[in-house]
A and B are shown apart, each in its own frame.
Chain A
Amino acid sequence: MLDDVISILMNPFFIKAFIGIFISALVAGNIGPILTTRGISFLTAEVAHAVLGGAALGIFIRSFILSNVDPLIIALLFGILSGLIAAYLGEGGRGRFEAAIGMSLALSMAIAVLFLAIIPSEDIPLVWGYLLGDILFLSLNDIILLSTSTILILIISLLFNREFLYIAFDEDGAKAMGLNTRLYHYISVFISSLGIVVLTKALGSIIIYAILIVPPMMASMLTNSYTRIRVLSFLSVLIYGIIGLYISFLVNVAPSGLIALLLVSTYIIIRLRRG
Protein backbone atom coordinates (compact mmCIF):
# COMPACT_ATOMS: atom_id res chain seq x y z
CA MET A 1 0.00 0.00 0.00
CA LEU A 2 2.67 2.47 1.09
CA ASP A 3 4.82 1.37 -1.83
CA ASP A 4 1.96 2.17 -4.18
CA VAL A 5 1.62 5.64 -2.71
CA ILE A 6 5.34 6.27 -2.98
CA SER A 7 5.55 5.00 -6.53
CA ILE A 8 2.76 7.38 -7.55
CA LEU A 9 4.37 10.30 -5.73
CA MET A 10 7.76 9.62 -7.34
CA ASN A 11 6.28 9.23 -10.81
CA PRO A 12 7.80 11.97 -13.01
CA PHE A 13 4.35 12.71 -14.42
CA PHE A 14 3.06 13.24 -10.90
CA ILE A 15 5.94 15.53 -9.97
CA LYS A 16 5.40 17.74 -13.02
CA ALA A 17 1.66 17.71 -12.46
CA PHE A 18 2.25 18.68 -8.84
CA ILE A 19 4.21 21.73 -10.00
CA GLY A 20 1.29 22.54 -12.31
CA ILE A 21 -1.18 22.23 -9.44
CA PHE A 22 0.97 24.40 -7.18
CA ILE A 23 1.17 27.10 -9.87
CA SER A 24 -2.59 26.84 -10.46
CA ALA A 25 -3.30 27.23 -6.75
CA LEU A 26 -1.10 30.34 -6.54
CA VAL A 27 -2.83 31.85 -9.57
CA ALA A 28 -6.35 30.91 -8.47
CA GLY A 29 -5.73 32.22 -4.93
CA ASN A 30 -4.72 35.60 -6.30
CA ILE A 31 -7.00 36.02 -9.29
CA GLY A 32 -10.20 34.36 -8.04
CA PRO A 33 -10.83 36.87 -5.24
CA ILE A 34 -10.10 39.79 -7.61
CA LEU A 35 -12.67 38.45 -10.08
CA THR A 36 -15.36 37.77 -7.50
CA THR A 37 -14.96 40.92 -5.38
CA ARG A 38 -14.89 43.13 -8.48
CA GLY A 39 -17.83 41.33 -10.06
CA ILE A 40 -15.95 40.54 -13.27
CA SER A 41 -16.01 36.74 -13.12
CA PHE A 42 -17.44 36.54 -16.67
CA LEU A 43 -13.87 37.32 -17.83
CA THR A 44 -13.13 33.69 -16.98
CA ALA A 45 -15.34 32.24 -19.73
CA GLU A 46 -14.31 34.95 -22.15
CA VAL A 47 -10.56 34.48 -21.83
CA ALA A 48 -10.72 30.68 -21.51
CA HIS A 49 -12.46 30.48 -24.87
CA ALA A 50 -10.09 32.95 -26.45
CA VAL A 51 -7.23 30.66 -25.38
CA LEU A 52 -8.72 27.87 -27.54
CA GLY A 53 -8.87 30.17 -30.56
CA GLY A 54 -5.38 31.46 -29.76
CA ALA A 55 -3.96 27.93 -29.47
CA ALA A 56 -5.44 26.96 -32.85
CA LEU A 57 -4.02 30.15 -34.35
CA GLY A 58 -0.65 29.42 -32.71
CA ILE A 59 -0.51 25.92 -34.18
CA PHE A 60 -1.46 27.35 -37.57
CA ILE A 61 1.40 29.85 -37.36
CA ARG A 62 3.83 27.12 -36.29
CA SER A 63 2.76 24.82 -39.11
CA PHE A 64 2.74 27.29 -41.97
CA ILE A 65 4.56 30.50 -41.07
CA LEU A 66 7.13 30.33 -38.25
CA SER A 67 8.11 26.82 -37.27
CA ASN A 68 9.82 27.81 -34.02
CA VAL A 69 6.85 29.62 -32.49
CA ASP A 70 5.42 28.15 -29.28
CA PRO A 71 1.60 27.99 -29.72
CA LEU A 72 1.24 28.59 -25.96
CA ILE A 73 2.73 32.08 -26.37
CA ILE A 74 0.20 32.89 -29.09
CA ALA A 75 -2.59 31.50 -26.89
CA LEU A 76 -1.30 33.63 -24.01
CA LEU A 77 -1.20 36.85 -26.03
CA PHE A 78 -4.57 36.09 -27.60
CA GLY A 79 -6.16 35.47 -24.20
CA ILE A 80 -4.77 38.68 -22.67
CA LEU A 81 -5.78 40.72 -25.72
CA SER A 82 -9.34 39.38 -25.62
CA GLY A 83 -9.59 40.16 -21.89
CA LEU A 84 -8.42 43.72 -22.41
CA ILE A 85 -10.75 44.22 -25.38
CA ALA A 86 -13.68 42.94 -23.30
CA ALA A 87 -12.73 45.40 -20.55
CA TYR A 88 -12.55 48.22 -23.08
CA LEU A 89 -15.92 47.42 -24.62
CA GLY A 90 -17.37 47.06 -21.14
CA GLU A 91 -16.66 50.68 -20.34
CA GLY A 92 -19.89 51.63 -22.10
CA GLY A 93 -22.03 50.00 -19.43
CA ARG A 94 -23.31 46.65 -18.30
CA GLY A 95 -25.61 45.80 -21.24
CA ARG A 96 -23.00 46.62 -23.83
CA PHE A 97 -20.52 44.52 -21.90
CA GLU A 98 -22.56 41.33 -22.00
CA ALA A 99 -23.22 41.73 -25.71
CA ALA A 100 -19.50 42.29 -26.29
CA ILE A 101 -18.58 39.19 -24.28
CA GLY A 102 -21.10 37.11 -26.19
CA MET A 103 -19.71 38.30 -29.50
CA SER A 104 -16.06 37.82 -28.66
CA LEU A 105 -16.78 34.33 -27.26
CA ALA A 106 -18.37 33.43 -30.57
CA LEU A 107 -15.50 35.06 -32.46
CA SER A 108 -12.87 33.08 -30.52
CA MET A 109 -14.68 29.82 -31.12
CA ALA A 110 -15.14 30.67 -34.80
CA ILE A 111 -11.39 31.28 -35.07
CA ALA A 112 -10.75 27.96 -33.32
CA VAL A 113 -13.09 26.08 -35.69
CA LEU A 114 -11.57 27.78 -38.73
CA PHE A 115 -7.98 26.93 -37.84
CA LEU A 116 -8.88 23.42 -36.69
CA ALA A 117 -9.92 22.77 -40.28
CA ILE A 118 -6.63 24.09 -41.66
CA ILE A 119 -3.96 22.83 -39.28
CA PRO A 120 -2.40 19.37 -39.72
CA SER A 121 -4.75 16.76 -38.29
CA GLU A 122 -2.09 15.35 -35.94
CA ASP A 123 -1.97 18.74 -34.17
CA ILE A 124 -5.71 18.92 -33.52
CA PRO A 125 -5.46 17.11 -30.13
CA LEU A 126 -3.12 19.91 -28.98
CA VAL A 127 -6.00 22.37 -29.25
CA TRP A 128 -8.43 20.05 -27.51
CA GLY A 129 -5.81 19.71 -24.77
CA TYR A 130 -6.84 23.18 -23.69
CA LEU A 131 -10.35 21.92 -23.01
CA LEU A 132 -9.28 19.50 -20.30
CA GLY A 133 -5.83 20.87 -19.56
CA ASP A 134 -2.41 19.31 -19.99
CA ILE A 135 -1.54 18.92 -16.34
CA LEU A 136 0.00 15.46 -16.89
CA PHE A 137 1.79 16.40 -20.09
CA LEU A 138 3.33 19.80 -19.32
CA SER A 139 6.67 20.22 -21.09
CA LEU A 140 9.62 21.92 -19.45
CA ASN A 141 8.95 24.93 -21.69
CA ASP A 142 5.35 25.03 -20.55
CA ILE A 143 6.39 24.93 -16.91
CA ILE A 144 8.89 27.75 -17.41
CA LEU A 145 6.32 29.91 -19.21
CA LEU A 146 3.58 29.20 -16.68
CA SER A 147 5.91 29.83 -13.72
CA THR A 148 7.12 33.12 -15.18
CA SER A 149 3.52 34.23 -15.72
CA THR A 150 2.65 33.21 -12.18
CA ILE A 151 5.55 35.15 -10.69
CA LEU A 152 4.47 38.20 -12.69
CA ILE A 153 0.90 37.82 -11.39
CA LEU A 154 2.13 37.49 -7.79
CA ILE A 155 4.39 40.54 -8.04
CA ILE A 156 1.70 42.73 -9.61
CA SER A 157 -1.02 41.65 -7.21
CA LEU A 158 1.25 42.27 -4.22
CA LEU A 159 2.42 45.66 -5.54
CA PHE A 160 -1.09 46.92 -6.27
CA ASN A 161 -2.89 45.16 -3.44
CA ARG A 162 -4.09 48.43 -1.96
CA GLU A 163 -5.23 49.88 -5.30
CA PHE A 164 -7.16 46.72 -6.19
CA LEU A 165 -8.79 46.83 -2.77
CA TYR A 166 -9.81 50.46 -3.29
CA ILE A 167 -11.45 49.90 -6.67
CA ALA A 168 -13.20 46.78 -5.36
CA PHE A 169 -14.48 48.66 -2.31
CA ASP A 170 -15.53 51.99 -3.81
CA GLU A 171 -14.65 52.71 -7.42
CA ASP A 172 -16.59 56.01 -7.66
CA GLY A 173 -15.08 57.32 -4.44
CA ALA A 174 -11.56 56.26 -5.41
CA LYS A 175 -11.93 58.03 -8.73
CA ALA A 176 -13.29 61.17 -7.10
CA MET A 177 -10.27 61.14 -4.77
CA GLY A 178 -7.89 61.14 -7.69
CA LEU A 179 -6.99 57.47 -8.10
CA ASN A 180 -6.51 56.46 -11.71
CA THR A 181 -9.19 53.77 -11.40
CA ARG A 182 -9.14 53.02 -15.10
CA LEU A 183 -5.45 52.16 -15.05
CA TYR A 184 -5.84 49.79 -12.09
CA HIS A 185 -8.95 48.27 -13.63
CA TYR A 186 -6.92 47.41 -16.72
CA ILE A 187 -4.00 46.12 -14.66
CA SER A 188 -6.37 43.84 -12.75
CA VAL A 189 -7.95 42.65 -16.01
CA PHE A 190 -4.46 42.04 -17.41
CA ILE A 191 -3.28 39.82 -14.56
CA SER A 192 -6.66 38.09 -14.39
CA SER A 193 -6.48 37.27 -18.10
CA LEU A 194 -2.90 36.08 -17.75
CA GLY A 195 -3.93 33.89 -14.82
CA ILE A 196 -6.89 32.45 -16.72
CA VAL A 197 -4.56 31.47 -19.59
CA VAL A 198 -2.22 29.73 -17.14
CA LEU A 199 -5.14 27.83 -15.61
CA THR A 200 -6.57 26.93 -19.02
CA LYS A 201 -3.24 25.46 -20.09
CA ALA A 202 -2.85 23.51 -16.85
CA LEU A 203 -6.39 22.43 -16.02
CA GLY A 204 -8.51 23.20 -19.06
CA SER A 205 -11.14 25.71 -20.06
CA ILE A 206 -14.06 23.53 -19.01
CA ILE A 207 -13.39 23.50 -15.27
CA ILE A 208 -11.79 26.89 -14.93
CA TYR A 209 -14.91 28.41 -13.40
CA ALA A 210 -14.83 25.85 -10.61
CA ILE A 211 -11.16 26.55 -9.91
CA LEU A 212 -11.45 30.35 -9.92
CA ILE A 213 -14.87 31.13 -8.53
CA VAL A 214 -15.73 28.32 -6.12
CA PRO A 215 -12.72 28.67 -3.74
CA PRO A 216 -13.23 32.40 -2.99
CA MET A 217 -16.97 31.79 -2.59
CA MET A 218 -16.28 29.00 -0.08
CA ALA A 219 -13.66 31.11 1.67
CA SER A 220 -15.98 34.10 1.95
CA MET A 221 -18.44 31.96 3.89
CA LEU A 222 -15.75 31.51 6.55
CA THR A 223 -14.08 34.93 6.58
CA ASN A 224 -14.35 38.31 4.90
CA SER A 225 -10.75 39.38 5.25
CA TYR A 226 -9.30 39.83 1.78
CA THR A 227 -5.97 38.27 2.72
CA ARG A 228 -7.58 35.24 4.37
CA ILE A 229 -9.88 34.71 1.38
CA ARG A 230 -6.81 34.57 -0.83
CA VAL A 231 -4.90 32.21 1.44
CA LEU A 232 -7.90 29.88 1.83
CA SER A 233 -8.52 29.89 -1.94
CA PHE A 234 -4.89 28.96 -2.53
CA LEU A 235 -5.03 26.17 0.04
CA SER A 236 -8.29 24.70 -1.23
CA VAL A 237 -7.08 24.53 -4.84
CA LEU A 238 -3.76 23.04 -3.68
CA ILE A 239 -5.33 20.39 -1.43
CA TYR A 240 -8.12 19.41 -3.82
CA GLY A 241 -5.62 19.51 -6.68
CA ILE A 242 -3.33 16.98 -4.98
CA ILE A 243 -6.26 14.73 -4.03
CA GLY A 244 -7.66 14.93 -7.58
CA LEU A 245 -4.26 14.20 -9.06
CA TYR A 246 -3.73 11.21 -6.76
CA ILE A 247 -7.15 9.71 -7.55
CA SER A 248 -6.57 10.25 -11.27
CA PHE A 249 -3.46 8.07 -11.06
CA LEU A 250 -5.49 5.32 -9.36
CA VAL A 251 -8.54 5.31 -11.62
CA ASN A 252 -7.17 6.83 -14.83
CA VAL A 253 -9.54 9.79 -15.13
CA ALA A 254 -8.53 13.32 -16.20
CA PRO A 255 -7.46 15.09 -12.96
CA SER A 256 -9.08 18.42 -13.85
CA GLY A 257 -12.56 16.88 -13.91
CA LEU A 258 -11.98 15.27 -10.52
CA ILE A 259 -10.73 18.52 -8.99
CA ALA A 260 -13.78 20.42 -10.25
CA LEU A 261 -16.10 17.70 -9.01
CA LEU A 262 -14.50 17.75 -5.54
CA LEU A 263 -14.58 21.56 -5.29
CA VAL A 264 -18.15 21.98 -6.45
CA SER A 265 -19.50 19.14 -4.31
CA THR A 266 -17.77 20.55 -1.22
CA TYR A 267 -19.32 23.92 -1.96
CA ILE A 268 -22.78 22.36 -2.31
CA ILE A 269 -22.37 20.40 0.92
CA ILE A 270 -21.31 23.54 2.82
CA ARG A 271 -24.26 25.46 1.36
CA LEU A 272 -26.74 22.70 2.25
CA ARG A 273 -25.42 22.40 5.80
CA ARG A 274 -25.64 26.14 6.28
CA GLY A 275 -29.21 26.12 4.96
Chain B
Amino acid sequence: MDRDIIIRGLNIVLDGYRVLEDVSIDIRGNELTVILGPNGAGKTTLIKAILGLVKPSSGSIKVFGYDPFKEGEKIRKLIGYLPQLEKYSYEIAIPSIEVVLMGLMASRRFPRIPSKDDVRKALECLGRAGVRDIAYKPFNELSGGQRQRVLLARALVKEPRYIILDEPFTGVDVRGQREIIECLIDLKDDIGILMILHDIAPIAEHIDNLILLNRRVIAWGPPIEVLTPENLKRAYGTEIPIIIQENICYPLLGDRHA
Protein backbone atom coordinates (compact mmCIF):
# COMPACT_ATOMS: atom_id res chain seq x y z
CA MET B 1 0.00 0.00 0.00
CA ASP B 2 3.05 2.17 -0.15
CA ARG B 3 2.59 3.51 -3.65
CA ASP B 4 -1.00 3.52 -4.82
CA ILE B 5 -0.57 5.30 -8.13
CA ILE B 6 2.47 4.66 -10.32
CA ILE B 7 2.82 6.54 -13.59
CA ARG B 8 5.71 5.93 -15.98
CA GLY B 9 6.49 7.81 -19.20
CA LEU B 10 2.88 8.87 -19.74
CA ASN B 11 2.11 10.71 -22.98
CA ILE B 12 -1.37 11.83 -23.92
CA VAL B 13 -2.26 13.35 -27.27
CA LEU B 14 -5.78 14.74 -27.67
CA ASP B 15 -6.96 16.00 -31.07
CA GLY B 16 -3.36 16.18 -32.29
CA TYR B 17 -2.27 18.28 -29.33
CA ARG B 18 0.23 16.87 -26.84
CA VAL B 19 -1.48 17.45 -23.50
CA LEU B 20 0.90 15.45 -21.31
CA GLU B 21 4.50 14.61 -22.04
CA ASP B 22 6.63 11.96 -20.38
CA VAL B 23 4.93 12.13 -16.99
CA SER B 24 6.41 9.83 -14.35
CA ILE B 25 5.25 10.09 -10.73
CA ASP B 26 4.39 7.96 -7.73
CA ILE B 27 1.50 8.94 -5.48
CA ARG B 28 1.27 7.37 -2.07
CA GLY B 29 -1.91 6.53 -0.23
CA ASN B 30 -2.97 8.18 3.04
CA GLU B 31 -1.40 11.43 1.96
CA LEU B 32 -2.65 14.68 0.61
CA THR B 33 -1.22 15.24 -2.85
CA VAL B 34 -1.84 18.39 -4.88
CA ILE B 35 -1.38 18.87 -8.61
CA LEU B 36 -0.51 22.51 -9.27
CA GLY B 37 0.02 24.22 -12.59
CA PRO B 38 -1.17 26.94 -14.97
CA ASN B 39 -4.26 26.73 -17.18
CA GLY B 40 -3.89 24.16 -19.93
CA ALA B 41 -1.16 22.31 -18.03
CA GLY B 42 -3.01 19.01 -18.44
CA LYS B 43 -4.05 18.70 -14.78
CA THR B 44 -7.59 17.47 -15.46
CA THR B 45 -6.33 15.19 -18.23
CA LEU B 46 -3.88 13.61 -15.79
CA ILE B 47 -6.61 12.76 -13.26
CA LYS B 48 -8.92 11.58 -16.03
CA ALA B 49 -6.13 9.21 -17.11
CA ILE B 50 -5.81 7.98 -13.52
CA LEU B 51 -9.57 7.37 -13.50
CA GLY B 52 -9.45 5.56 -16.84
CA LEU B 53 -11.59 8.19 -18.55
CA VAL B 54 -8.85 9.15 -21.04
CA LYS B 55 -6.69 6.71 -22.96
CA PRO B 56 -2.91 7.12 -22.66
CA SER B 57 -1.13 7.48 -26.00
CA SER B 58 1.92 5.78 -24.55
CA GLY B 59 3.43 4.99 -21.16
CA SER B 60 1.83 3.17 -18.26
CA ILE B 61 -0.42 3.92 -15.30
CA LYS B 62 -1.04 1.54 -12.45
CA VAL B 63 -3.63 2.40 -9.84
CA PHE B 64 -3.74 -0.08 -6.94
CA GLY B 65 -2.02 -2.43 -9.37
CA TYR B 66 -4.72 -2.12 -12.04
CA ASP B 67 -4.59 -0.52 -15.48
CA PRO B 68 -7.27 2.20 -15.26
CA PHE B 69 -8.22 2.20 -18.93
CA LYS B 70 -8.56 -1.58 -19.19
CA GLU B 71 -9.71 -2.41 -15.67
CA GLY B 72 -11.73 0.74 -15.03
CA GLU B 73 -14.48 -1.01 -13.09
CA LYS B 74 -12.09 -2.12 -10.38
CA ILE B 75 -10.64 1.33 -9.97
CA ARG B 76 -13.98 3.13 -9.95
CA LYS B 77 -14.96 1.22 -6.82
CA LEU B 78 -11.81 2.36 -5.06
CA ILE B 79 -11.74 6.01 -6.08
CA GLY B 80 -14.23 8.77 -5.39
CA TYR B 81 -14.16 11.59 -7.93
CA LEU B 82 -15.41 15.16 -7.63
CA PRO B 83 -15.48 16.92 -11.03
CA GLN B 84 -15.26 20.74 -11.11
CA LEU B 85 -18.40 22.48 -9.85
CA GLU B 86 -19.01 24.05 -13.26
CA LYS B 87 -19.39 20.59 -14.79
CA TYR B 88 -22.73 19.90 -13.15
CA SER B 89 -26.10 20.84 -14.54
CA TYR B 90 -27.93 23.26 -12.29
CA GLU B 91 -31.08 23.39 -14.41
CA ILE B 92 -32.71 20.46 -12.66
CA ALA B 93 -33.42 20.32 -8.96
CA ILE B 94 -32.07 17.13 -7.42
CA PRO B 95 -32.29 16.68 -3.63
CA SER B 96 -28.82 16.38 -2.06
CA ILE B 97 -29.55 12.90 -0.79
CA GLU B 98 -30.33 11.77 -4.33
CA VAL B 99 -26.93 13.14 -5.41
CA VAL B 100 -25.26 11.10 -2.65
CA LEU B 101 -27.27 7.98 -3.57
CA MET B 102 -25.93 8.37 -7.10
CA GLY B 103 -22.57 7.32 -5.62
CA LEU B 104 -24.08 3.94 -4.73
CA MET B 105 -26.54 3.51 -7.58
CA ALA B 106 -24.24 4.37 -10.49
CA SER B 107 -22.08 1.29 -9.97
CA ARG B 108 -25.03 -1.03 -9.28
CA ARG B 109 -26.88 -3.08 -11.80
CA PHE B 110 -30.28 -2.13 -13.19
CA PRO B 111 -32.84 -1.57 -11.64
CA ARG B 112 -31.20 1.03 -9.47
CA ILE B 113 -33.62 1.38 -6.60
CA PRO B 114 -32.08 2.52 -3.29
CA SER B 115 -32.87 0.37 -0.23
CA LYS B 116 -33.50 1.72 3.27
CA ASP B 117 -29.96 0.77 4.10
CA ASP B 118 -28.66 2.81 1.16
CA VAL B 119 -30.59 5.85 2.37
CA ARG B 120 -29.23 5.39 5.91
CA LYS B 121 -25.70 5.16 4.53
CA ALA B 122 -26.20 8.27 2.39
CA LEU B 123 -27.45 10.25 5.38
CA GLU B 124 -24.50 9.05 7.45
CA CYS B 125 -22.05 10.27 4.79
CA LEU B 126 -23.82 13.62 4.57
CA GLY B 127 -23.26 13.74 8.33
CA ARG B 128 -19.56 12.97 7.95
CA ALA B 129 -19.30 15.82 5.45
CA GLY B 130 -21.16 18.06 7.92
CA VAL B 131 -24.22 18.66 5.73
CA ARG B 132 -26.76 16.22 7.19
CA ASP B 133 -29.23 19.11 7.67
CA ILE B 134 -29.52 19.88 3.95
CA ALA B 135 -30.17 16.29 2.84
CA TYR B 136 -33.51 17.14 1.25
CA LYS B 137 -32.61 20.56 -0.16
CA PRO B 138 -32.11 20.73 -3.94
CA PHE B 139 -28.44 20.64 -4.92
CA ASN B 140 -28.76 23.63 -7.25
CA GLU B 141 -29.95 25.85 -4.40
CA LEU B 142 -26.89 25.23 -2.19
CA SER B 143 -23.81 27.42 -1.72
CA GLY B 144 -20.54 26.39 -3.36
CA GLY B 145 -19.15 25.02 -0.09
CA GLN B 146 -22.31 23.02 0.60
CA ARG B 147 -22.35 21.61 -2.92
CA GLN B 148 -18.75 20.51 -2.63
CA ARG B 149 -19.46 18.76 0.69
CA VAL B 150 -22.53 16.99 -0.72
CA LEU B 151 -20.27 15.76 -3.53
CA LEU B 152 -17.73 14.69 -0.94
CA ALA B 153 -20.48 12.67 0.73
CA ARG B 154 -21.29 11.16 -2.67
CA ALA B 155 -17.65 10.07 -2.98
CA LEU B 156 -17.53 8.75 0.62
CA VAL B 157 -20.64 6.62 0.32
CA LYS B 158 -18.70 4.12 -1.81
CA GLU B 159 -16.13 3.75 0.99
CA PRO B 160 -13.26 4.61 -1.35
CA ARG B 161 -9.56 4.26 -0.62
CA TYR B 162 -8.85 7.41 -2.57
CA ILE B 163 -10.61 10.66 -3.36
CA ILE B 164 -9.77 12.85 -6.35
CA LEU B 165 -11.01 16.45 -6.41
CA ASP B 166 -10.79 18.80 -9.39
CA GLU B 167 -10.50 22.44 -8.25
CA PRO B 168 -12.62 22.00 -5.11
CA PHE B 169 -12.21 25.64 -4.04
CA THR B 170 -13.21 27.34 -7.28
CA GLY B 171 -16.48 29.20 -6.79
CA VAL B 172 -16.40 28.59 -3.04
CA ASP B 173 -16.07 31.45 -0.53
CA VAL B 174 -13.42 31.45 2.20
CA ARG B 175 -15.76 30.06 4.85
CA GLY B 176 -16.84 27.28 2.50
CA GLN B 177 -13.21 26.50 1.73
CA ARG B 178 -12.44 26.13 5.46
CA GLU B 179 -15.36 23.75 5.89
CA ILE B 180 -14.21 21.59 3.00
CA ILE B 181 -10.63 21.55 4.32
CA GLU B 182 -11.79 20.51 7.81
CA CYS B 183 -13.68 17.58 6.27
CA LEU B 184 -10.67 16.53 4.20
CA ILE B 185 -8.28 16.69 7.14
CA ASP B 186 -10.59 14.41 9.13
CA LEU B 187 -10.63 11.93 6.27
CA LYS B 188 -6.91 11.96 5.61
CA ASP B 189 -6.12 9.26 8.17
CA ASP B 190 -8.17 6.67 6.29
CA ILE B 191 -8.29 7.90 2.73
CA GLY B 192 -5.70 9.19 0.27
CA ILE B 193 -6.54 12.54 -1.28
CA LEU B 194 -5.45 13.92 -4.63
CA MET B 195 -6.59 17.35 -5.71
CA ILE B 196 -6.05 19.79 -8.53
CA LEU B 197 -5.59 23.38 -7.42
CA HIS B 198 -4.62 26.55 -9.18
CA ASP B 199 -3.79 28.19 -5.85
CA ILE B 200 -2.56 26.19 -2.87
CA ALA B 201 -2.86 28.97 -0.27
CA PRO B 202 -6.08 27.74 1.41
CA ILE B 203 -4.61 24.33 2.20
CA ALA B 204 -0.80 24.86 1.99
CA GLU B 205 -0.01 23.71 5.54
CA HIS B 206 -1.67 20.31 5.01
CA ILE B 207 -0.06 19.28 1.72
CA ASP B 208 2.23 16.25 1.93
CA ASN B 209 3.15 16.05 -1.73
CA LEU B 210 3.06 18.54 -4.54
CA ILE B 211 3.23 17.85 -8.26
CA LEU B 212 4.12 20.92 -10.29
CA LEU B 213 2.81 20.32 -13.79
CA ASN B 214 2.96 22.08 -17.09
CA ARG B 215 2.46 19.34 -19.67
CA ARG B 216 5.60 17.83 -18.17
CA VAL B 217 6.27 17.25 -14.50
CA ILE B 218 8.40 20.23 -13.49
CA ALA B 219 9.04 18.86 -10.00
CA TRP B 220 7.35 16.67 -7.41
CA GLY B 221 7.84 15.97 -3.73
CA PRO B 222 7.30 17.88 -0.47
CA PRO B 223 6.03 21.44 -1.19
CA ILE B 224 9.01 23.19 0.37
CA GLU B 225 11.34 21.41 -2.08
CA VAL B 226 9.12 21.82 -5.11
CA LEU B 227 8.16 25.46 -4.72
CA THR B 228 11.46 27.06 -5.62
CA PRO B 229 11.60 30.25 -7.72
CA GLU B 230 13.26 28.32 -10.58
CA ASN B 231 10.62 25.58 -10.66
CA LEU B 232 7.79 28.09 -10.50
CA LYS B 233 9.29 30.09 -13.32
CA ARG B 234 9.61 26.93 -15.42
CA ALA B 235 5.99 26.03 -14.74
CA TYR B 236 4.42 29.45 -15.21
CA GLY B 237 6.85 31.10 -17.60
CA THR B 238 7.16 34.12 -15.34
CA GLU B 239 8.56 35.05 -11.92
CA ILE B 240 6.20 34.07 -9.10
CA PRO B 241 6.77 35.75 -5.72
CA ILE B 242 6.87 33.32 -2.79
CA ILE B 243 6.12 33.94 0.85
CA ILE B 244 7.63 31.47 3.31
CA GLN B 245 6.08 31.41 6.73
CA GLU B 246 6.83 28.83 9.46
CA ASN B 247 8.46 26.59 6.86
CA ILE B 248 5.36 26.65 4.65
CA CYS B 249 5.62 27.98 1.12
CA TYR B 250 2.93 30.24 -0.33
CA PRO B 251 3.48 31.10 -4.00
CA LEU B 252 1.41 34.20 -4.86
CA LEU B 253 -0.50 32.76 -7.77
CA GLY B 254 -3.66 34.85 -7.59
CA ASP B 255 -4.37 37.74 -9.94
CA ARG B 256 -1.73 40.32 -9.18
CA HIS B 257 -2.40 43.90 -10.12
CA ALA B 258 0.10 46.64 -9.45
Contact = CB atoms under 8 A, between A and B. Distances in A.
Contact of A179 (B77, B81, B82, B107): B107
A178 B93 contact: no
Given A163-B112, A166-B102, A173 B92 contact: no
Given A93-B15, A170-B87, A170-B88, A177 B102 contact: yes
A170 B154 CA distance: 12
A37 B88 contact: no
B231 interface: no
A159 B87 CA distance: 26
B48 to A, nearest CB: 8
A169 interface: yes
B175 to A, nearest CB: 25
Interface residues of B, number: 34
B130 interface: no
A179 B106 contact: yes
Interface in B75-114: 76-77, 79, 81-83, 87-89, 91-94, 98-99, 102-103, 105-107, 110-112
A172 B166 CA distance: 12
Interface string A208-232: 0000000000001001111001000
A114 to B, nearest CB: 35
A139 to B, nearest CB: 37
A274 interface: no
Interface in B128-165: 138-140, 151, 154, 158
Q: Which of A172, A173, A177 has the most CB of B within 10 A?
A: A177
B51 interface: yes
A250 interface: no
A177 B52 CA distance: 11
For the residues of A in contact with B, the DSSP-based class is: helix
Nearest to A168: B89
A180 to B, nearest CB: 9
A223 B102 CA distance: 22
Given A174-B106, A176-B51, A179-B107, A224 B76 contact: no
A176 B79 CA distance: 9
Nearest to A174: B106
A160 B105 CA distance: 12
Contacts of A273: none
B239 interface: no
B103 to A, nearest CB: 6
A159 B88 CA distance: 23
B106 A177 contact: yes
Given A93-B15, A169-B88, A224 B140 contact: yes
Interface string B209-225: 00000000000000000
Nearest to A39: B89
B182 interface: no
B112 A225 contact: no
A122 to B, nearest CB: 48
24 contacts: A37-B89, A162-B105, A163-B110, A166-B102, A169-B99, A170-B88, A170-B89, A172-B53, A173-B82, A173-B87, A174-B102, A174-B106, A175-B53, A176-B51, A177-B81, A177-B103, A177-B158, A178-B106, A178-B107, A223-B93, A224-B92, A224-B138, A225-B92, A225-B93
Interface of A: 36-37, 93, 159-160, 162-163, 165-166, 168-170, 172-179, 220, 223-226, 229
